[in-house]
A and B are shown apart, each in its own frame.
Chain A
C-alpha cells in the first residue's frame, strides 16, 4: 500500500475517563493508532469497549465534565487536536473531520429543516455566499442519492424515512469535503437493505472523493466488506490491529478469535451459536493486567500480573497478548 507512508491522523496514548457519581470510569486506556490518507479503517468491539468514546474524544465531543481526556496526542495536519483551543477545534469539527452518528432520527434537530442543517456547515466552514448555499446543499443531497433533492431541503427530519435521514447525515458530514469522516455505527439503526445502500454510498463516495474513513461498528460482516485495516478494541484498549484479510484469516488475539467465532453462519446448518463466556470488563480501575484474562481460555500467570502492550506479531499485524496462539506457548 503506497498510502501507508502518509498518515492523516496519528493518535498516541489517548486516555479518557468519566468522573461519575459511582466512581471513575476508565473508558479509554492508552489507545494509539494511525489513519492513512484515503484509508478505510474499521473499528470493532462490543458495547462499552471504548470505540465511540475514543473517536469522540478526538474532537472533544464527549460531555466534559464528567468526561476528561487524561493523556494523549492526536496529530492531524500538523496540529495536536487534543491540545488545540476549542475555538480552533471548531474549524476542524465538520470542516476537515466530519462525523456521522448512529441514530439518524435523534441526531438531527427535529425543528430545523434538512436544508438549514446542511447549510449551517457551509456557513461555518466555507465562504460560499448565502445565495449559492441552497444549490450546494442540493448537490450534496443528490450526491448521497436522495431523489427530488430540491424539495427535500425544506423537509423536516421526521418527514424522511430512516435511510433518507442517514443520507442527510452523510451529506452533512461531507458538506465541507473533509479529509476524514468518522462514522459511529452509522447503519446500526437501519434495515438490512438500507444498510447495504448506505454502505454502497460511502464506498463510492470514498473512491470519488478520496476521504479517509473511520467506521465504528460491532458488525464484523460490514467491516469485512469495506475496510482496509481493522482495529479490535476491548476494555478501552486496542487488542489487535491488522489488515482486513489478515484479521479474518489469521486472528492472533483470543478475543478476536472469540468474536469471529460468535458470528452466526448461514452456510452451516445445526451449529450452536458460540459466545464468549463471561462478562465484559468493569472499567472502574485502569487495567493492571490483561482485561480479557478472566474470559480467556489461554490465560496464564503473566496475563493476570501484567497488561500486555500492542506487539508486532507479523507484517502490519499487532496484537496485545502474552500467548502465541499459533505455536501454543507464551510469547
Chain B
C-alpha cells in the first residue's frame, strides 16, 4: 500500500503540471484585459506601462514558467518561513503571486476566505452524509415502504432542483416573508458569546440545509442502491442461516459490503462540493473562495483565477487518490502491491 501511494503521488506531479499549463492556456485565450477595468482617464501610454509591469507582454510560456516558479518555489518557502518564523535566503525581497486587482498575495487572500467556505461546505457535507447514509440503509431494508417512498420523493427533488433555485426559494420564504434567518452571511461576526453563536448558527442554517439537501439526495439514492444489491446476496442468507439477528445482518454483513462504493463516492464528492460552493456562496453572499473565484474572473485577475483553479485541481487529484486507497482498505479483495 505504501509503495502504491508513493507511486501515485509521483504520478500526480506531471498530471498537475499539465493541468496548470492547460488552465494557463485557457486563461490566455480568454478575452479580457486587467487594464480595461481602470478608469478611462488614464492615458494610453500609462495603461501600456501597467500592462508591461504586470508581465502581460511576455510570451505565453514565459508567463507560465514565472507562475510555476512562484507557485512551487517562492510560495512554499514563504509558508515554511511564516510557520517556523525563520528567514531562508532573500526573504525580504521574494516575489509572491500577486492578485492583479488587489495587489495582495493571492494565497493570503485565499487563506482568509477559506474558513467561511469550509464552515458552510464542511457542515453541509457532514450533515448530508449523516442524513443520507441512514436514510439509504432504512430505505433499502424497507423497500417500497412509506419511508422509502418519502425518501425517494425528497431525494428526487433534492437531486433535480438546482441549489440556485432552492437557495433563492429559501431566502424568499425564510428571510423575506418570515424573517427567521438573515439572507446575508456576515463574515465579520466573531463568535465569543452565546448570542453571537446563535447568530452564527442562524446565518449558517439556510446555506447548509440547501447544500446538504443536494449532497444528501444523490448519496441516499446511491447508498440505497448499494444496500439493495447486497441484501439479496447469498452470504446474507448464510448469515441468517447461522442465526445472526437482523440488526447484525444489516449493520455488519450487508453494510460493510455496501459502504465500499459509498465511501468512494464520498471521497470523490469532496472536491465537487467546492465547485458547488461557487453557486451557493454567490446566492447567500458568503465571501468564501467560490465568490472569490467569480469576482476574480470578472476582473480578469489571471493569477488569482489560475491559483484557485490549480488548488481545485490539486484537491481533485488528492481525493481521487484517497478514494482509491480507502477502496483498498475497505475491500480485502483489492490489493495494490
Give Cα A107–Cα B242 distance, bound, in whole angstroms.
Answer: 12
**Is B31 an interface residue when CB atoms closer than 8 A count as contact?**
no
- Answer whether A109 and B242 are a contact pair too, CB < 8 Å, given A156-B332, A156-B333, A158-B332: no
Q: Mark A70-102, 1 if CB is under 8 A from B, else 0.
A: 000000000000000000001111110011010
Are B241 and A94 neighbours in the complex by a CB distance under 8 Å? yes
Q: Which of B300-337 contact A (CB under 8 A)?
A: 330-333
User: A-side interface residues toward B, CB under 8 Å?
Assistant: 59, 61, 63, 90-95, 98-99, 101, 103, 106-112, 120-121, 124-125, 156, 158, 169, 172
Are A107 and B238 neighbours in the complex by a CB distance under 8 Å? yes
Known: A109-B253, A124-B242. 10 other contacts (CB 8 A): A61-B241, A93-B240, A94-B244, A101-B234, A106-B233, A108-B235, A111-B331, A121-B242, A156-B332, A158-B332
Give Cα A90–Cα B213 distance, bound, in whole angstroms.
Answer: 39
A residues near B240, Cβ cutoff 8 Å:
61, 93
Give Cα A237–Cα B237 distance, bound, in whole angstroms.
Answer: 24
The smallest C-beta distance from A292 to any residue of chain B, in angstroms, reads 30
A residues near B282, Cβ cutoff 8 Å:
none
The smallest C-beta distance from A127 to any residue of chain B, in angstroms, reads 14
Q: Which residue of B lies closest to A110 (CB)?
A: B333
A residues near B242, Cβ cutoff 8 Å:
93-94, 99, 120-121, 124, 172
Q: Which residue of A lies closest to B241 (CB)?
A: A99
Return the 8 tightest CB-CB contacts between A and B, nearest first: A94-B242, A99-B241, A94-B243, A93-B243, A106-B234, A109-B235, A156-B332, A107-B234
The smallest C-beta distance from B295 to any residue of chain A, in angstroms, reads 47
Q: Which residue of A lies closest to B256 (CB)?
A: A111
A residues near B244, Cβ cutoff 8 Å:
90, 94, 120, 124
Q: Mark B229-273, 1 if CB is under 8 A from A, else 0.
A: 000111101111111110000001100110010000000000000
A residues near B253, Cβ cutoff 8 Å:
109, 112
Give Cα A166–Cα B210 distance, bound, in whole angstroms.
Answer: 51
B residues near A124, Cβ cutoff 8 Å:
242-244
A residues near B234, Cβ cutoff 8 Å:
101, 103, 106-107
Give Cα A59–Cα B242 distance, bound, in whole angstroms.
Answer: 10
- Answer whether A90 and B237 are a contact pair too, CB < 8 Å, given A110-B333, A111-B256, A112-B256: no
- Jot down 13 A-B pairs with beta carbons below 8 A, ordered by A: A61-B237, A92-B243, A93-B242, A101-B238, A103-B234, A107-B235, A107-B237, A109-B235, A109-B256, A112-B252, A124-B243, A124-B244, A169-B238
Give Cα A133–Cα B213 distance, bound, in whole angstroms.
Answer: 46
Are B332 and A125 neighbours in the complex by a CB distance under 8 Å? no
Q: Which residue of B lies closest to A102 (CB)?
A: B234
Are A108 and B238 neighbours in the complex by a CB distance under 8 Å? yes
A residues near B330, Cβ cutoff 8 Å:
111
From B235, B241, B331, B332, A93 is in contact (CB under 8 Å) with B241
A residues near B237, Cβ cutoff 8 Å:
61, 101, 107
The smallest C-beta distance from B265 to any residue of chain A, in angstroms, reads 18
Which has the most chain B C-beta neighbours within 10 Å: A59, A63, A110?
A110
B interface bracket (residues with beta carbon within 8 Å of A): 20 to 34
Give Cα A267–Cα B297 distance, bound, in whole angstroms.
Answer: 85
Are B245 and A90 neighbours in the complex by a CB distance under 8 Å? yes
The smallest C-beta distance from B272 to any residue of chain A, in angstroms, reads 27
Q: Which of B61-90 contact A (CB under 8 A)?
A: none
Which has the most chain A C-beta neighbours within 10 Å: B240, B243, B245, B330?
B243
Give Cα A175–Cα B329 distance, bound, in whole angstroms.
Answer: 29
Q: Which residue of A lies closest to B235 (CB)?
A: A109
Are A110 and B243 neighbours in the complex by a CB distance under 8 Å? no
A residues near B252, Cβ cutoff 8 Å:
112
B residues near A99, Cβ cutoff 8 Å:
238, 241-242
The smallest C-beta distance from B335 to any residue of chain A, in angstroms, reads 10
B residues near A112, Cβ cutoff 8 Å:
252-253, 256
The smallest C-beta distance from B116 to any residue of chain A, in angstroms, reads 39
The smallest C-beta distance from B221 to any residue of chain A, in angstroms, reads 23
From B235, B243, B260, A91 is in contact (CB under 8 Å) with B243
Which has the most chain B C-beta neighbours within 10 Å: A94, A106, A111?
A111
- Answer whether A158 and B333 are a contact pair too, CB < 8 Å, given A101-B234, A110-B257: yes
Q: Which of B92-121 contact A (CB under 8 A)?
A: none
A residues near B243, Cβ cutoff 8 Å:
90-95, 121, 124-125
Give Cα A12–Cα B255 distance, bound, in whole angstroms.
Answer: 38
Give Cα A158–Cα B333 distance, bound, in whole angstroms.
Answer: 7
Which has the most chain A C-beta neighbours within 10 Å: B232, B235, B239, B330?
B235
B residues near A59, Cβ cutoff 8 Å:
241
Which has the most chain A C-beta neighbours within 10 Å: B232, B234, B238?
B238
A residues near B260, Cβ cutoff 8 Å:
111
Give Cα A272–Cα B182 distance, bound, in whole angstroms.
Answer: 86
The smallest C-beta distance from B263 to any residue of chain A, in angstroms, reads 12
Give Cα A175–Cα B305 distance, bound, in whole angstroms.
Answer: 64
The smallest C-beta distance from B330 to any residue of chain A, in angstroms, reads 7
From A63, A106, A121, B235 is in contact (CB under 8 Å) with A106
Which has the most chain B C-beta neighbours within 10 Å: A109, A112, A121, A125?
A109
The smallest C-beta distance from A179 to any residue of chain B, in angstroms, reads 14
Give Cα A93–Cα B245 distance, bound, in whole angstroms.
Answer: 11
Q: Which residue of A lies closest to B257 (CB)?
A: A111
A residues near B232, Cβ cutoff 8 Å:
63
Are B332 and A109 neighbours in the complex by a CB distance under 8 Å? no
B residues near A91, Cβ cutoff 8 Å:
243
Give Cα A156–Cα B330 distance, bound, in whole angstroms.
Answer: 12
B residues near A63, Cβ cutoff 8 Å:
232
Q: Which residue of A lies closest to B255 (CB)?
A: A111
